[in-house]
Amino acid sequence: MEMQLTDLGIGGKISRLSPLKNLKQLIEEEVRVGVKTVVAVGNDKTLFQVINAIVGRPVVLGIVPFGPNNTIAHDLGINSVEDATKTISTRIIQKIDLGKINNDYFVSQATISDGQAVIEFDDKFAVSTEHAGSKINVCNLRPAHVAAGQNHFNPQDGYLDLLVETASRKGMFRTEFAKSIFPFKRIFIRGPKTASITADGGKIFKTPVKIEAAPQKIKMIVSKKRDF
């Protein structure tokens, strides 16, 4: 991969992460010496850590998916290392919204493990589900299983979307899910019991939590194949 990047004329310092290296400190030092682009090589968890280290700093983020669990790169239209290196060399930069869960940021989605939850929208109204098996996601990017073409899941509109999927009909081979979609700026999630919420596959939070949209919070190098 390093050779591919070099062939495309992309060079730079390579820092390898280890349990002994503090990512935030590392990025802080690099920004201080003038680094303007950070390329995260790894999976969703790596990307979650890098985003939380660079947020609020004047750097552009590029991503190269590597290893298993790379749904975020896929959602951004980057499906392989080749895609990623071409994307970085093309260098299309866009300002992207992030989601903020308590004090951490996520770019793709936060998933509630237990499908039963009460979601409060700015003290105005609350949304709850009757089915225990519901899937509840807070999305910034469009999830891979949701068809494109809707005016939701746009990471540049200043909103996040709450996606609630409940089993509506069980076929012989598959279950169909009915979708509820609520665009929002800020919500509070609590449950009848404590539930876990995983943000970008990188960190687990326990309810109650506050989630809000953080518009145009980060600059990213994006693929031509993105759907926003």
> How deeply is 136 buried, as exposed, middle or buried, from its count of CB atoms within 10 A (0-12, 13-18, 19+)?
buried
User: Which pair of structure tokens corresponds to residue 181?
Assistant: 């979609």
Cis peptide before 208 (omega within 30 of 0): yes
Tokens read off for 187: 């919500």
Which helix or strand (DSSP H or E) is residue 95 part of?
strand 92-101
Q: Is 204 in the site for another protein (CB under 8 A)?
A: no
CA-only gyration radius of the chain, Å: 18
If one asks whether residue 228 binds another protein (CB under 8 A), the answer comes out as no
Question: Near another protein by CB under 8 A, which window of 105-113, 128-136, 197-205, 220-228?
Answer: 128-136
Check binding of 145 to another protein (CB under 8 A). no
Note whether 109 binds another protein by CB under 8 A. Answer: no
Question: Under the criterion CB under 8 A, does residue 80 sit at the interface with another protein?
Answer: no
Q: Does 64 bind another protein (CB under 8 A)?
A: no
Contact 141, 75 (CB under 8 A): yes
Nearest to another protein of 128, 194 (CB atom): 128
Q: How many residues does the chain have?
A: 228
Query: Residue 9 has which token pair?
Result: 């004329």
CB atoms within 10 A of CB 222: 22
124 binds another protein (CB under 8 A): yes
Per CB under 8 A, 227 contacts another protein: no
Helix (H, G, I), strand (E, B) or coil at 97: strand
Among 128, 175, 194, 196, binds another protein (CB under 8 A): 128
Q: Is residue 180 within the footprint of another protein (CB under 8 A)?
A: yes
Q: Rounded CA gap, 228 and 225, in Å?
A: 9
Q: Rule CB under 8 A: is residue 15 a binding residue for another protein?
A: no
Q: Specify the pairing of strand 118-121 against strand 92-101.
A: unpaired
Q: Is residue 159 at the binding interface for another protein, with CB under 8 A as the rule?
A: yes
Determine phi and psi for 221, rounding to 5 degrees.
Answer: -85, 120
Told to check if 175 binds another protein by CB under 8 A, we report: no
Span near another protein by CB under 8 A; candidates 31-39, 126-134, 197-205, 218-226: 126-134
- The residue within the footprint of another protein, chosen from 4, 17, 81, 184 (CB under 8 A), is 184
Interface segment toward another protein; rule CB under 8 A; list 19-27, 39-47, 86-94, 174-182: 174-182
| Least gap, CB of 162 to another protein (angstroms) | 10
Which amino acid would we find at residue 217?
K
Contact positions toward another protein, by CB under 8 A? 121-122, 124-131, 134, 150-152, 154, 157-159, 161, 164, 166, 168, 178-185
